[in-house]
Amino acid sequence: MRALVQRVTSAEVRVEGAVIGRTGPGLLVLVCTMQGDGTAEAEALAARVVKLRIFRDEAGRMNRSLLDTGGGALVVSQFTLAADTRRGNRPGFSAAAPPDEGQRLYEHFAQALAGHGVAVETGAFGADMAVALVNDGPVTIWLEVQGG
């Protein structure tokens, strides 16, 4: 399972012009379920996201986690994180999980984040979404959890 995590002061997602999810200070998490992923990967990724120390402490160092700050998370599905660009100019997405499985694990990931006590809002799986954010820093981190 893959995630692109962005520290934000705010973020929102719109579908057909209507805001369906937003967060204030916290994280925008773009998530992609890969072939072979299961609930264990979703839960492990959620645990890594909430513990990732990328928020400033009193000294201005990145030393605090989402759990430490009490920030929220906006979780948006993004199968294009599975892009294989090794050949030609058109990315391939065959490494992404099938849509039904992807949706199930995306929702499980969001629930796992919420289970850690984080306020979570989501986008709409498979929808054409417009995501707006104010990246704080900017801080953008790539995470990947693979089954064993």
Active site residue 125: no
Cα gap 34→53, rounded to integer Å: 25
**C-alpha distances in Å from residue 51, one per residue of 38, 48, 120:** 21, 5, 15
Whether residue 80 lies in the annotated active site: yes
- State the catalytic residue, choosing from 35, 39, 80, 146: 80
Q: Count Cα atoms within 13 angstroms, Cβ side, for 140.
A: 6
**From 6, 23, 33, 78, active-site residue:** 78
78 is catalytic: yes
Tokens coding 116? 């850690």
Q: Which of 33, 55, 79, 109 is catalytic?
A: 79
Q: Helix or strand or coil: residue 26? A: strand
Residue 135 near residue 7, CB atoms below 8 Å: yes
Q: Active-site positions? A: 78-80
